[in-house]
A and B are shown apart, each in its own frame.
Chain A
């Protein structure tokens, strides 16, 4: 079979697979979700900025979501109360049942929102501390990539693991490259809340301009300049249901190439992503 025949066949098979794989597009739903996604991003951004600003100045007392729902014995009461007193309950109308269900759903949604806000406040405080650490550096963070391919730094003596108090598996790879360097612990991705991933990447084709144009940024995340780096680095904060991630983009000192640092930490992990980010940047700073 000639090259042309092979590629024609591949073209046909890809189209048949796409027909089979892609669901029917629901335009109205896609547009509605795009609007909602955009609004959510804006709301999250505004909330995060507000919290981050406050966290830098004062300690913000966390609102405890469960406080209103806790019973006098410390147990958690359901939205409808936990009293076991027999109450004569006449027949509940369909309207009452529907209203009760709606109230329950609203209470659950409110509790989830409060938990999320508490997580955002905690992360904002941690990020403010990370920015303060960088701002206080004696010399700005400046990384210079070697030429050619080079190895990822090893966590000699387990210093990073020790600093974080977490055993880390090291994924030995080379840079520049698609995957970069990765350190993981407890990566059972069926449960993101237990995951812990640190990474260093470098793309020599990118420039500071690409970074400023925002093409590297993740939708729904919040970006902020990080002081104490030259050229100026950008810190990206992403909040998710089960994990939080920080991305740090640092233009190479040569003017070409952008370093990417990732700290993705599940909510069940004892270390916060800002501390983990500081540790992995420290490894890079010592190496490059």
Chain B
């Protein structure tokens, strides 16, 4: 890589790295895994920067590398993450705690399967269209639609009031 390309790559990371890291943290549900995921994508992008930089939207290209790595089949195969098909009631937790709401959201996201979670994050965090999400995930629009419907339904159930002592967060989803 030439000095110019190296500087270009650095500028790219400065401009887009923050948003990519936020997406990575949400799809993995974990800051460390998110950093690892971003790093995987950036190392790959660095290695083929000439190609990446020529893309219409280099950030979209790197995001695709990142999502592809996240959805890598062997990673899922080895993943210790427990994916539940049924969604248990949410406990009241500690509504006074400053991070309670975010923690509840994080736990709810982690109960979604990786593909469903990814579709929800791309649609409602990155604000991608159904078609863009489908292209990024390498699947059809109807599959994305199914994932998102399933994800929203599950999140409503997870974040809905489970008992009378409702948290503020769970009231929001009534």
Q: Name A's B-contacting residues (CB within 8 A).
A: 1, 6-7, 9-11, 13-23, 25, 27, 30-31, 33-35, 37-38, 41-42, 178-180, 182, 189, 195, 197, 199, 201, 203, 205-206, 210, 215-216, 218-220, 245, 247, 260, 262, 264
Contact yes or no, A38 B139, CB < 8 A: no
Residues of A contacting B174 with CB < 8 Å?
Answer: 1
Residues of A contacting B115 in the complex (Cβ-Cβ under 8 angstroms):
178
Residues of B within 8 A of A37 (CB): 39-40, 42-43, 46
Please tell me which one of the listed residues A6, A18, A264 contacts residue B152 in the complex, with CB atoms under 8 A apart: A6
Kindly name the residue among B25, B30, B121 whose own CB sees the greatest number of chain A CB atoms within 10 A: B25
Listed in ascending order, the chain B residues whose CB lies under 8 Å from chain A are 6, 9-10, 13-14, 17-18, 21-26, 29-31, 34-35, 38-47, 68-69, 72-74, 76-78, 80, 99, 101-102, 105-106, 109, 113-115, 120-121, 124-125, 127, 138-140, 152, 155-156, 169, 172-174
How far, in whole Å, are A179 and B29 apart by their CA atoms in the complex? Answer: 19
B124 touches A14 (CB 8 A): yes
Q: Would you mind naming 26 contact pairs between A and B with Cβ atoms under 8 Å apart?
A: A1-B174, A7-B152, A10-B152, A11-B124, A14-B124, A16-B101, A17-B26, A17-B105, A18-B125, A19-B22, A20-B102, A23-B35, A25-B17, A25-B21, A27-B13, A30-B39, A31-B13, A34-B13, A35-B46, A37-B42, A179-B76, A180-B77, A203-B73, A218-B74, A262-B74, A264-B78
Q: What are the residues of chain B within 8 A of A42 when measuring CB–CB?
A: 47
Instruction: Judge whether B78 and A197 touch: CB under 8 Å.
Output: yes
CB distance from B8 to the nearest CB of A (A): 11
In the bound complex, how far is the Cα of B73 from the Cα of A247, in angstroms?
A: 10
Which chain A positions have C-beta within 8 A of B113?
178
Q: How far is the CA of A42 from the CA of B44 in the complex (A)?
A: 11
Contact among A6, A30, A201, A203 with B17 in the assembled complex (CB-CB below 8 Å): A30
Q: Among the listed B44, B47, B125, which residue makes an inter-chain contact with A11, where contact means beta carbons less than 8 Å apart?
A: B125
